[in-house]
């Protein structure tokens, strides 16, 4: 399976939103100071929530295991600070619902130094031991999906990964945390890539980076000389190139069929941040207790890319950035295309929180919705060749069974259809709502 020549590297359909990366792309990553309180929801990854193993009042160290996996499709949770467990109780999640969370009060007098641990000799681990270590470290897909990474690496008997793909596309507007990570820690990106490539037995690893990050492409290529089985491929700029199936199509020209996974075509895809978290764990023993978050948008006083301990309230992150402008109307967690508006600034940063974006009335005012004019632009935008116009109409009238027949569940909720619609129809919101109803019926019929 060879990558396509540069002029062919793209996928069909998709859209071209403005990048808006000028506020943060040139700013070095900074570390936010420790704050007083941390909130760690047990269900911040896909799958079964983690199970607490600490009690209220207990003292915990930075990096200490505080919750173990609740099932196989689940992962661990570690304390981001040295302090005390103050509560294990329902707390508001960024989605707005109440979720059981471990609340930790930081010890203001602790050094917050991570206890040094012997590095783990990853090369000597069997694949099963390696997978267990990834679960022990609490590592999930950090591009936003938060799917436990160890599950992705656990292949059915007889299946083989030939090609590891590292997703450096970062195609959501405003977000630049992966960009900065590739620029500032290129050796670690390559070390993490090599660890995973070798453990999965892949013959080649490809780091796909959109061409608007030419400096990151150049610096990664400069460090490649020690890595014979890794290549860096520039990709044309297009949204949603960071979606796994689109990335595979752009790099190899291969379609992953609907209902199948990248591994079914011999590929595993990991985000740049996930790969760096893996390298950090094997080289320093640090489990996933912090991540880089892009704080940006016209409503933020001082946009930045920040290393933020998990569980830090959004309010504290924004305070470090000089707060919100008075004109701010909406704060989004994630990117503007797939992120979610948050109802409270007290919700915490999670493993999948790639961005905090603040928008003013100019960006958030919803233009009036008009009837569909059957222009077909949403069909041309949909990277999964769905009919978004029809799906949204069916969702509106509650025809969920029919939506399922038209493959609504293949929708990856990228929002390209809504972005392209001249009638301002909230297509992706309608489809999301319809998908939830389809899933409810599926659960009831099990």
Q: Which residues bind ligand SF4 (CB under 6 A)?
A: 372-378, 381-382, 384, 386, 388-389, 411-417, 420-423, 425, 427-428, 431
**Total length of the chain:** 446
CB of 249 to ligand SF4, least distance (A): 13
- Choose between 62 and 435: whose C-beta lies nearer to ligand SF4: 435
CB of 405 to ligand SF4, least distance (A): 15
CB 72 within 8 A of CB 107: no
CB of 416 to ligand SF4, least distance (A): 4
CB 372 within 8 A of CB 397: no
Give the separation between CA 316 and CA 336, rounded to whole angstroms.
21
- Choose between 350 and 395: whose C-beta lies nearer to ligand SF4: 395
CA atoms within 13 A on the CB side of 273: 29
CB of 422 to ligand SF4, least distance (A): 6
Positive or negative: CA dihedral 430, 435, 438, 440: negative
Nearest C-alpha neighbor of 358 from the set 391, 401, 327: 327
- Choose between 318 and 378: whose C-beta lies nearer to ligand SF4: 378
CB of 117 to ligand SF4, least distance (A): 42
- Choose between 236 and 432: whose C-beta lies nearer to ligand SF4: 432
CB of 396 to ligand SF4, least distance (A): 11
- Choose between 6 and 373: whose C-beta lies nearer to ligand SF4: 373
CB of 370 to ligand SF4, least distance (A): 8
Over the range 388-403, which residues count as b (16 or more CB within 10 Å of their CB) and which as e? bbbbbbbbeeebbebb
């Amino acid at each position: 399976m060879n990558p396509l020549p540069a002029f062919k590297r793209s996928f069909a359909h998709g859209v071209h939103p403005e990048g808006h990366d000028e506020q943060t792309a040139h700013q070095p990553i900074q570390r936010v100071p420790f704050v007083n309180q941390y909130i760690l929801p047990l269900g911040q990854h896909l799958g079964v929530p983690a199970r607490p193993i600490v009690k209220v009042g207990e003292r915990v160290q930075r990096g200490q295991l505080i919750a173990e996996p609740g099932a196989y499709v689940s992962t661990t949770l570690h304390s981001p600070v040295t302090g005390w467990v103050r509560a294990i109780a329902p707390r508001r999640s960024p989605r707005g619902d109440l979720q059981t969370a471990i609340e930790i009060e930081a010890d203001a007098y602790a050094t917050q130094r991570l206890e040094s641990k012997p590095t783990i000799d990853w090369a000597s681990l069997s694949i099963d031991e390696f997978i267990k270590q990834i679960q022990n470290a609490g590592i999930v897909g950090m591009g936003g999906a938060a799917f436990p990474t160890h599950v992705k690496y656990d292949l059915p008997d007889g299946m083989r990964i030939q090609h590891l793909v590292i997703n450096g596309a970062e195609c959501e507007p405003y977000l630049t945390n992966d960009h900065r990570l590739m620029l500032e820690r290129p050796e670690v990106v390559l070390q993490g890539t090599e660890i995973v490539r070798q453990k999965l037995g892949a013959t080649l690893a490809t780091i796909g980076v959109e061409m608007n990050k030419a400096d990151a492409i150049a610096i990664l290529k400069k460090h490649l000389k020690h890595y014979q089985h890794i290549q860096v491929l520039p990709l044309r700029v297009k949204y949603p190139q960071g979606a796994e199936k689109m990335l595979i199509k752009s790099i190899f020209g291969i379609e992953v069929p609907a209902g199948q996974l990248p591994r079914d075509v011999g590929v595993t895809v990991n985000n740049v941040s996930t790969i760096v978290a893996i390298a950090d764990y094997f080289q320093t023993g640090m489990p996933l207790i912090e991540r880089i978050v892009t704080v940006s948008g016209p409503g933020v006083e001082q946009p930045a890319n920040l290393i933020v301990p998990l569980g830090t309230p959004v309010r504290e992150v924004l305070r470090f950035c000089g707060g919100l402008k008075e004109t701010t109307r909406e704060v989004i967690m994630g990117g503007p295309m797939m992120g979610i508006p948050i109802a409270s600034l007290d919700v915490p940063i999670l493993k999948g929180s790639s961005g905090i974006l603040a928008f003013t009335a100019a960006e958030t005012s919803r233009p009036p919705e008009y009837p569909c004019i059957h222009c077909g632009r949403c069909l041309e935008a949909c990277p999964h060749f769905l009919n978004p116009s029809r799906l949204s109409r069916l969702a509106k009238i509650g025809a969920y069974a029919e939506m399922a027949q038209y493959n609504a569940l293949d929708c990856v909720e990228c929002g390209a259809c809504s972005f392209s619609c001249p009638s301002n129809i909230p297509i992706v919101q309608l489809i999301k709502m319809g998908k939830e109803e389809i899933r409810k019926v599926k659960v009831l019929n099990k």
